[in-house]
Amino acid sequence: MADVLAPLAGKVLDVLVQVGSKVEEDDELVVIEALKMENTVYAPAGGTVKEIKVKKGDSVADEELLLVID
Amino acid sequence: MRPYFQKMPGLGKPLKENRIARMRESRAAIEAVEAEIAAAKKAVEEVGIPAAKINERGSLTVWQRLERLVDAGTWHPLHSLYNPNDNEEGTTNVVDGLGKICGRWAVIIGFDNKVLAGAWIPGQAENILRVTNLARRLHIPLVWLVNCSGVKLPDQEKFYADRRGSGTTFFRHAELEQEGIAVLAGIYGTNPAGGGYQSISPTILLAHKDANIAVGGAGIVSGMSPRGGFDVEGLEELIAKTRDIKERPPGRVDIHYDETGFFARVYDEETGVLDGIKEYMRALPAYDPMFFRVAEPAEPQFPAVDLYHLLPFNQKSDYSFDEILARLVDGSEHMEFRPDYGPEVYTGLVKIDGMLVGAIGNRQGLLPKGYPEYADYPGIGGKLYRQGLIKMNEFVTHCGRDRIPLVWFQDTSGIDVGDIAEKAELLGLGQALIYSIQSTDVPMMLVVLRKGSAAAHYIMGGPTANRHNAFTLGTATTEIYVMHGETAAVASYARRAVKDKDSGKPLEPLAQKMNEMAQKYYDTSRPAYCARHGFVDEVVRLKELRGYLKAFAGAVYQNPKSICPRHQMLLPRIIKG
């Protein structure tokens, strides 16, 4: 089980996976706009996306839970 | 050293379908710019008198000459769109690039005989300087296709004189020759005055039978004595002299082959001159590439077309530089230098066509938490911090010691700023990198993948590294400026905004001004603008990048001025630990 956290505060521009998606380590998961850039959040480990806590347009805080990989 | 280089660690992984789908629009945008650039290049090729008309006159065009001269598939044009003075002709009137002749790399340049009979025009001297510098930096022959009618007289004040004016070429030719670099010239047509010196200054002169070279051409020989004005009687005299001298212009083959012997050979056919150049090229010193190869050449593990899905057109989107590099280097293999230090920068050894090359590039995206270590704010790729600057200094210095050429890949928004960054010595470390580059004597090339901005554009092997930067390539995603246009507008008008607000003035006009400034920055940073003004030496398609890397590596290792035996190199051992 791996919790994927926001690496910094920003706005969610895109969620690239769905619940049930199979992912591998370093796959692209979420894009967060911060520091004038669109920053990709990558999978820390392989598995299945169990839960997604954010949607496009959400503001997220630093280290806020984005999704869970099982 | 075979175990070090024959099989290096792998780099990159196959693209996922969802990445390809997500980047579809981005790819289309890149390809649209590439198509615009290709159309602009085609227009420059077709400028002037149509090829058919030149052929009717019994001559080949410069393009046809190049076609015959250069080994198939090896032509890598440079400066195709260079036209810094916005000449109405749309060109500086020379065509140049890197190409192989009889298997040997050369810098090749020819006058476009379709335009003003190959005249000197504004911007050409600077173009030629870039070309002669390139031959010097790569230490490979310079081959001229001379067909130059001399100065475009109505515009002479724009390029004849000055420190870097048209005559500089002749000094540069002498410099090349003194450094052991041969300059070969195939000479066609009428080449008076400047054209004469273009012809006489190379090392070996090979002429077509109808060529002539002279201190002064027919035009001035018939009118050398100014009389304080013109009248009908004077014009009658001029007409008679001109008719007479047109038949026998000065400096024909019977003078400069039969009498002076300046021409080493004369050929009846235009193609004979080109064959003569080939013969001389075969006589020049060149190592067999096998001599310097550290492994058998290999294509990357992943296709070049992936680059269109990896490098986002949107300048704000991040991407993996390592994945880009994996599409450019032999076998998608590398040896990374200090992977745990300075995460915003990639430094490592790669192979191009079996030859060892150092690579440096900006990584993108968020940096690990706690970096930069000297600040409490997050670090972001594309920007340079203390460790990255120190790492590049070290890497460049080691490459210099080991005589390994370098390829820089820029996508940088600049160096970290503010008092915290100043305390971290970034100003000094940036200049230290310039000092490190200048302390080496290895050729470098630069690819501006996307942004080339602020001082980072200078210090990361940019064109300002005159003695080292052989050439700089742009892509469809390149943009070069001192800072983003909106940042510049804020820097320029922030105080004015406060004043206007305090004095009760409406803010709309100022906002308009700021938008105009941002737009100007955008317009003057596009790839075509960068190429026209020489910020880059060529804008190339992403899928053509590897070809230029191979040309660079092949040329660098053809006849290097200095060699480090591979078993005496330090950098691979430092990386191995």
Per DSSP, the residues of B230-254 read --HHHHHHHHHHHHHHHHS-SS-HH
Residue B416 resides in a domain: yes
Chain centroid to Cα B516, Å, comes to 31
Q: CB-CB: which of A7, A16, A35 is closest to B18? A: A16
Structural domain includes residue B396: yes
Which residues in chain A touch residue B369, judged by CB atoms under 8 angstroms apart?
A: 7
Q: Which stretches of B403-474 are DSSP H helices?
A: 419-423, 426-439, 454-459
In a domain, B15, yes or no: no
Distance, in angstroms, between B389 CA and closest chain A CA? 21
Residues B79, B95: Cα–Cα separation, whole Å: 8
Active site residue B442: no
**B19, part of any domain:** no
Residue B490 shares a structural domain with residue B544: no
* pTM for the model: 0.95
pLDDT-derived band at B242, boundaries 50, 70, 90: confident
Parent domain of B414: 289-478+536-572
For residue B113, what are its two tokens? 């005989």
Over range A2-8, report the average pLDDT.
93
Q: Which residue has the higher pLDDT, B8 or B236?
A: B8
Q: How large a percentage of chain A has pLDDT more than 90?
A: 90
Query: Is the per-residue pLDDT at B143 higher than 90?
Result: yes
Residue-range domain boundaries for chain A:
2-69
Taking 90 as the threshold, does the pLDDT of residue B241 lie above it? no
- Calculated CA dihedral for residues B231, B237, B238, B244, nearest 10 degrees: 170
**Contact B552/B405 with Cβ under 8 angstroms?**
yes
Query: Are B335 and B198 in the same domain?
Result: no
Report the pLDDT value the prediction gives residue B225, as an integer from 0 to 100.
Answer: 66
Which pLDDT score, from 0 to 100, does residue B528 have?
97
Same domain, B115 and B235: yes
Q: Predicted ipTM?
A: 0.92
Overall average pLDDT of the B262-266 stretch = 97
Domains contained in chain B, number: 3
Active-site hit among B117, B135, B151, B555 = B151
Which residue in chain A is spatially nearest to B366 when comparing CA positions? A39
Q: Which of B316, B411, B413 to mutate to test the interface with A (most CBs of A within 10 A)?
A: B316
Q: Considering the domain boundaries, does residue B39 fall inside one?
A: no
Query: What pLDDT digit, counting tens, does each position of B189-227 carry?
Result: 999 988 889 999 999 999 999 999 999 876 666 666 677
Q: What is the pLDDT of residues B442-474, one digit of tens each?
A: 999 999 999 999 999 999 999 999 999 999 999
Pick the range with the lowest mean pLDDT from A36-40, B119-123, B141-145, B526-530: A36-40
Residues B488 and B561 in one domain: no
Looking at the domain that runs over A2-69, which CATH code has it been given? 2.40.50.100
Q: What percentage of chain A has pLDDT greater than the value 70?
A: 100
Q: Do A36 and B317 touch (CB under 8 A)?
A: no
Question: Across B24-38, B145-159, B234-248, which has the greatest mean pLDDT?
Answer: B24-38
% of chain B surpassing 70 pLDDT: 98
Residue of A11, A37, A56 for testing the chain B interface, max B β-carbons within 10 Å: A37
Beta-ladder partners of B207: B187, B266
* Active site annotation includes B40: no
Same domain, B407 and B511: no
**For residue B231, is pLDDT > 70?**
yes
Predicted confidence (pLDDT) at residue B42 exceeds the cutoff of 90 = yes
Contact B316 A36 (CB under 8 A): yes
Is there a single domain that holds both residue B520 and residue B543?
Answer: no
